[in-house]
Structure formats: structure tokens, C-alpha cells
Structure 1
Amino acid sequence: MEKSMANKREVLLRFLAEPTDVNFGGKVHGGAVMKWIDQAGYACAVGWSGYYCVTVYVGGIRFYKPIFIGQLVEVKSTVVHTGTSSMHIAVEVSATDPRTGTQKLTTRCLIVFVAVDDGGDTVPVPRWTPETELDKRLEQYAIHMAKARKEEEAELQAIPL
């Protein structure tokens, strides 16, 4: 990967919602939105780490408003916390009606990627340090969610399936 591409904290994808993205109700499929979230998160993780990355967790996904055909979709992904090899990325999806210019937040979530080498082993990623109060709040949220995931996983492992 080119050095100029590494350590990019934010990625913004923009495109139009297309008829192939729509469900039977006439709105963009939740699965299509989840795919866009993963793609934007991946681009952000690779841009930050400079390595191939794999998704290890998507959590707290919340759908607020529907997206319709022809709306301009923006998927913004931002590194909000780094571990040794992991990157916690906040993702927001919004849609704009091109006729009115009205933009609405449609979806939010936190997604975690891990950087890996060609053999699939984890590799260290550059540390991200929060600079603003918002950065600090976002990092604290990511840390809180990581603790909650560990507790949830331990609870699940204790239940025989």
C-alpha cells in the first residue's frame, strides 16, 4: 500500500440509492445498508492501518429512517479507537433528497476490524489518539462497548447450544 494512503482516519462514500437496492416495501434493503457500512468501514480500516483487514464485530446498528431510490447516500466511517491490531470505527449513514436538499441520518453503528498479514496473523496498527472532546467521547464509547462485548461473549459461552 502507498504510504500516502496510510493513516487516513476518515472515509466518506457517496452514491445514489439504486433500484437494485430496494426491498418489496420500496425502501433500501437493510442488508444493502449493512453491506455499505462494511465497505466504508473496511476502506477506513485499510486506510488507517495499511494492511488487509477483516471484520470481527458489528454492533449497535440502529436504523432510524428509510432510504429511497434516487437519494444521495453518504456513508461516513471514522476511526474512534485503536487496540494493538484492532480498529473501532464509527459509521453513520445519511440520505439526501436531491430535489429538496434535505438530509437525514438513517443508520449508525460501531464496527471493529483487525489488521492481518498475508498469513492471516494479526499485525499491529498505528495508535490513534483523540484530540477533541468529541473524539474523547467517541473513544470512551468504543471502550465501553468493547467491555460489554467481552461480558456478552462470556455469558454466551456459558450457555450450551
Structure 2
Amino acid sequence: MAGQERQITLRFLAEPADVNFGGKVHGGAVMKWIDLAAYACSAGWSGKYCITAYAGGIRFVQPIHVGNIVEVSAKVIYTGRSSMHIGLDVRAGDPKESQRHLTTHCIVIMVAVDENGKPTDVPEWVPQIQEDIDLRDSAIRLMEMRKKIGDEMEAHVDKSI
């Protein structure tokens, strides 16, 4: 049964293997950490295996340097029937200091699936405080915008393939 843990923070150490050609941690490494945290958060909420359905609005605010401790905080901000919208913040800083600065933020939509890979119900999350109500309302507005963008993107799909 679901533990219904709404949020989680994973920590990583930025390693030399994570560096891009500019000497900073590359976006692919950050996106992998985001996906891992989104999975851990959604599985913790739903008690089920979850898959990534959408990752969007990824904002790279500041670079992450090799040797930084990286904290990826994820929390459920909206639930549908089988989906969970996970808000994520990535913060980084010198591991010898307690201060971390925001480097990246985004929303990832995860879907709980059964043993046959079919979407399955998740527990509803009902916000109780104003901050959470605002997060939920923002997730709903973003969902509506994504639908419009998706409709526009259809014009770019090569239908001859």
C-alpha cells in the first residue's frame, strides 16, 4: 500500500564524469537526477511503479560545478486519476558549507502503471494550505497550456513516416 510520502530530497555529488565541454555539470546529468527524484517521489506517493510521461519547463538558472553537493527536492503538486505532477527544485553548493543555491527547476508528470504497463489509480492529493493550493492551481494552468502546445506541435509531426 502507498506510503503517501508527498516529498523527497535526493542528494548527489557532482563528479568529473558529469562535466560538459564548458567545465560545468551537463544538463543530461541534471535531467537524470530530476527523473530519479520524480520516480522516487511518485512511487512513494502512489506505492506503485511509475513511468515518466512528461518533463517540461526545465529552467537552468545557474551552473553546477564539479564537487558540488546537489540536492534534488521533489513534491507532489497535483494528482489526476493515474498521474502525479511533481514539482522539482535542484539546488547545489559547496559540500563544506550549508548554503545551496537554486540551479534548476521544472515539473515532471509521472504515471502509475500496473504489472501490464497500463495506467492505474493513484491516491488523490488534496492541498490544505494556501501555498499548496497555489501550486496545484499552477499545475492545472500548466496542464491547460501543455494541451495547447501539444495541439500546435501536431503540425510539426512528419506523418509520412
TM tier relative to shorter chain: over 0.9
Shift of 1:99: 4.1
Give the equivalent residue in structure 2 for 1:134. Answer: 131
Percent identity reads 52
Query: Which of 137, 141, 145 matches 2:142?
Result: 145
Unaligned runs of 5+ in 2: none
Task: Report the TM-score, using the length of structure 1 for normalisation.
Answer: 0.93
Query: Which of 144, 152, 157 matches 1:155?
Result: 152
SS in 2 for 1:54: strand
Give the equivalent residue in structure 2 for 1:69. Answer: 66
Shift of 1:30: 0.4
Query: Which of 28, 31, 55 matches 1:34?
Result: 31
> For each residue in 1:44-97, what CA deviation from the matched residue of structure 2 results, as whole angstroms up to 9, or x when unmatched?
011111111110111110000000111111000000000000000000000021
Shift of 1:18: 0.8
Partners of 2:118 and 2:97 in 1: CA distance: 48
User: In the alignment, residue 46 of structure 1 is paired with which amino acid?
Assistant: A
Give the equivalent residue in structure 1 for 2:50. Answer: 53
Task: Report the TM-score, using the length of structure 2 for normalisation.
Answer: 0.93
Partners of 2:57 and 2:157 in 1: CA distance: 25
Give the equivalent residue in structure 2 for 1:112. Answer: 109
Alpha-carbon distance change, 6 to 155 in structure 1, aligned in 2, over 3 angstroms: same
Q: Which runs of 4+ in 1 moved over 6 A?
A: none
Partners of 1:59 and 1:160 in 2: CA distance: 19
SS in 2 for 1:27: coil
SS in 2 for 1:136: helix
Alpha-carbon distance change, 100 to 6 in structure 1, aligned in 2, over 3 angstroms: closer
> For each residue in 1:118-153, what CA deviation from the matched residue of structure 2 results, as whole angstroms up to 9, or x when unmatched?
101110000001111110111011101111111111
Partners of 1:113 and 1:141 in 2: CA distance: 17
User: In the alignment, residue 93 of structure 1 is paired with which amino acid?
Assistant: V
Unaligned runs of 5+ in 1: none
Partners of 1:100 and 1:111 in 2: CA distance: 29
User: In the alignment, residue 53 of structure 2 is paired with which amino acid?
Assistant: V
